[in-house]
Amino acid sequence: MSWALPAVDALAARLLEDRLVDAVLGWARDPDLPWQRYPHRVDEPSRVGELVWDPFCAPGLAKLVFRMTEGGLKLGVLARGCDALGVWRLIHDRRIARENVYLLGLPCPGMADGVRVWEECPEAFDAAGWEDHGSHWVAVPTGIRLPKERFLLDKCLQCQVRWPRQCDEVLAVQGGSWNPFCEDRYRQVRQLEELPLPQRFDFWRGWFERCLRCFACRQVCPACNCESCSLDQFEPNWLEREVGVATQFIFHFTRALHVAGRCVDCGECQRACPVGFPLGALNRKMMKDMEDLFGVREPFVPQESEPLGEFALDDPDEFR
Q: Does 309 interact with other proteins (rule: CB under 8 A)?
A: yes
Helices then strands, counting H and E runs in the chain, come out as: 12, 8
Q: Which amino acid, residue 73? A: L
Residue whose CB is less far from other proteins, 72 or 206: 72
**182 and 157 Cβ atoms separated by less than 8 Å:** yes
Question: Nearest-5° angle of CA 284, CA 288, CA 293?
Answer: 145
> Does 310 interact with other proteins (rule: CB under 8 A)?
yes
Site membership for other proteins, residue 236 (CB under 8 A): yes
Question: For residue 121, what is the DSSP state?
Answer: -
Asked if 135 is part of the footprint of other proteins (rule: CB under 8 A), the reply reads no
Helix H or strand E segment including 290: helix 279-294
At closest approach, how far in Å is the CB of 310 from other proteins?
6
**Total number of residues that touch other proteins (CB under 8 A):** 22
Q: In whole angstroms, how close is the CB of 258 to other proteins at the nearest point?
A: 5
Which residues, in sequence order, are CB contacts of 184 under 8 Å at separation 6+? 190
CA 42, CA 292: separation in Å to the nearest integer? 44
Q: Which is nearer to other proteins, 80 or 95 (CB)?
A: 95
Alpha carbons 144 and 87: distance in angstroms, whole number: 34
Residue 2, SS3? Answer: strand
Least Cβ distance, residue 241 to other proteins (angstroms): 16
Considering only residues 194-233, where is the footprint of other proteins by CB under 8 A?
225-230, 233
Taking residues 83 to 122 in sequence order and writing x for each that binds other proteins by CB under 8 A, - otherwise, the string is ----------xxx---------------------------
Q: Which residues bind other proteins (CB under 8 A)?
A: 70-71, 93-95, 225-230, 233, 235-236, 238, 258, 305-306, 309-311, 313
